Amino acid sequence: MFGSWNCLSLIEQCRQALGGHGYSSYAGLAALYQDFAVQCSWEGDNTIMMMQTGRYLIHCYREAKNGIRQPTSVGYLNDVEMTKKRISPAQTAQDIVKLDDLLKAYDCICAHLVSDVGEQHVALTAHRTEADEAFELCGIALSSPFAPPHPL
């Protein structure tokens, strides 16, 4: 999802950088954009896929909160509070390109995003909202990590 959205955006940025020539068949970018745009919807619209992924992550978050160990792909949820407190050990520019440190940073970012939306879901269901309805109310936050939380 992330890759196909960004690739399509990059093709469009390249076309725009060429000005009016970006539409020329000589540039090939208009055809490339047209041919690649389908990648964003092979298995359904990316937004729907993001929401399905969000539902899965909230489910995993709630299970982890109840002490159920999660698989490696979402292992950062097993001790989410500790993961959220991580501080990068990077001291130089070269330090930030170490794969292990980048993965730890990514885990920290994911832990923050998933726990924020997960807690929103927990709060909604605590107010007697059905789980599926709570997923719908959290839908904007599930498909965009920069969206404001749903008011209770």
Catalytic positions are: 43
Tell me which residue of 82, 81, 78 sits closest to 69, measured CA to CA.
78
Angle at 98 between CA 110 and CA 72, to 5 degrees: 40
* Contacts of 6 by beta carbon, 8 Å cutoff, 6+ apart: none
* Contacts of 98 by beta carbon, 8 Å cutoff, 6+ apart: 90
- Residue 54 and residue 142 in contact, taking contact as beta carbons nearer than 8 Å: yes
